[in-house]
Amino acid sequence: MTKKFLLIWCVVLMVIVLAGCGDIMKKFVRKKDPGKEDYSFYQVEDYKPRPAPERYVKNYILWHNWHAELERTDDTNYTRDVFNLNESLKYLTAMRDLLDEEEAKKLDVQINDMQAVMERMKNRMECVKDNTNNRRIVARVGRVVQDEFSYKRMRKYIKTDE
């Protein structure tokens, strides 16, 4: 009796499993994506660059942040120092491009000093903090740029937009 009951129970269970549940099967069948019928076109607006004084202030602030990160004494990560130095040089160069020729030449001196630090770092695979000379040059460039190339002092030397 139990064998007969077990056999019938297995047959019923197998029929239910093989038949499946229509709602569950419908749930897992992929549906075709409807094609896009609505195409939207946007009118392109003319790009108006920011005025030169705003760009100078933005570049100065970004340079100041990257330079402060470079001068941190608690950090001795070579890769981070190289990245911070590259970013600092990028924003110094952007500041130089916005200045008149005479002031740009003065800023070139600081840029060249920072590039020399970069070369020494890459040649020796050392951090800024590992070499006293590099650390002093970075600190001096930071002081000079903050003192002589702030927006208040350079306001009259920034190129005008044409």
Q: What is the pLDDT of residue 43?
A: 76
pLDDT reported for residue 88: 94
DSSP-derived 3-state class of residue 82: helix
The whole-number pLDDT of residue 10 equals: 84
The mean pLDDT value for 33-45 works out to 71
Q: According to the model, what pLDDT value does residue 21 have? A: 62
Say what the pTM is: 0.68
Q: What is the mean pLDDT of residues 13-37?
A: 69
Rounded to the nearest 10°, the torsion over CA 87, 93, 97, 100 is 130
Confidence band (pLDDT; 50, 70, 90) for 22? Answer: low
Q: How far apart are the first and last CA of the chain?
A: 101
Identity of residue 24: I
Taking only the tens place, the pLDDT of each residue in 86-106 is: 999 999 999 999 999 999 999
Average pLDDT of the chain to the nearest whole number: 84
Q: Which residue has the higher pLDDT, 90 or 27?
A: 90
Name the burial class of residue 145, with classes exposed (0-12), middle (13-18) and buried (19+) by CB atoms within 10 angstroms of its CB.
buried
How far is Cα 146 from Cα 68, in angstroms, rounded to an integer? Answer: 11
Q: Does residue 113 surpass a pLDDT of 90? A: yes
Q: Give the span between the Cα atoms of 79 and 125, in whole angstroms.
A: 9
Residue identified by tokens 């009796």 is 1
Share of the chain above pLDDT 90, in %: 35
Q: Which residues of 44-78 are buried (b: 16+ CB within 10 A; e: fewer)?
A: eeeeeeeebbebbbebbebbbebbebbbeeeeeeb
